[in-house]
Structure 1
Amino acid sequence: MARKSPLDDPQKAAYAWARYRRLMRFMLLLTIGVVALALALLYKQGSAATVHFYIATALGIGFTMLLTGGLMGLVFLSSGTGHDESVTDLSDEHDRKD
């Protein structure tokens, strides 16, 4: 039987999700800054790139950074709340039966 997760407590869950949202706001601001810097550097080089190149660059950098930040934030949320420790490893029990 699975142990109770600390995220089952509404107060702990609210605190953890608030921390996750704060992390994502920071990542959004950082992403906007990095995208703006990258676009400014590309524009400053004076290459003959089209507007589609700038849009693809902005979307590629933005999507990658936000996805990475979101997934890492979920790892921090799971580990920081003790949710990882509440998971039972059933593979050990299966190995002992063999």
Structure 2
Amino acid sequence: MTARKVKSSPRVDESPIQWTRADPAALAAFNPDSKACTMNCGKHAQDPRSYAEVRFLCNDCESARKSVHQALAESLAREAALRAELDALRAFTRNA
């Protein structure tokens, strides 16, 4: 019995897919946990991008919901800022 010859196909070093790359400064400021995946995003075997870059560029990922505690803290901060602005306006109108 003789061994069969295995046909080898020429190997292509270049990826046929042109991967969109993110701006490095914008990517550095991006928090991957701020987006929730809705499409089971994953990397292609030849994709040179990081997980964070894939998530940053994905148009299907949605902004992650804030926890109740975060939302309450932001709401209270906005309320305090509005009250301070209202007090400043009242003081201005009394002096005018």
Larger RCO, structures 1/2 (Cα 8 Å, 6+ apart): 1
The structure where helix makes up a greater share of residues is: 1
Query: Could you say which TM-score interval applies, normalised by the shorter chain?
Result: 0.3 to 0.5
State the structure with more CA Rg. 2
Give the TM-score normalised by the residue count of structure 2.
0.35
Greater per-residue strand proportion: 2
